Amino acid sequence: MSGYVEHVTCEQLVDALTDYLEGVLDDEQRADIERHIVFCAGCATYVEQMRDTIDLVGRLAEERPDDVQTAQLVGLFRRWRDEHAHGGGDP
């Protein structure tokens, strides 16, 4: 990033955030992102929200729906599909 711009924009931070959080950016790119986070409260909040989301999703236990829930979901999907296949319903 540093080779192309003097300052990372918010849009560039969003584009690079996954790589940043996964630790795959080189040292210079990581420093550019961290410098932006220090000066941009909105992006700092966004990065923290993404970290919290990743942490919470990582704690979820995989649960399979029971037969009743499965039947309800399949029924909803089929109704939605039928409505949209015939030009009805919202886009």
Separation of alpha carbons 89 and 53, rounded Å: 33
Separation of alpha carbons 74 and 41, rounded Å: 43
- Show Cβ contacts of residue 83 under 8 Å, excluding neighbours closer than 6 positions: 89
pLDDT of residue 65: 85
Percent of the chain topping pLDDT 70:
87
pLDDT of residue 19: 96
Is residue 63 predicted with pLDDT exceeding 90? Answer: no
- 15: helix, strand or coil: helix
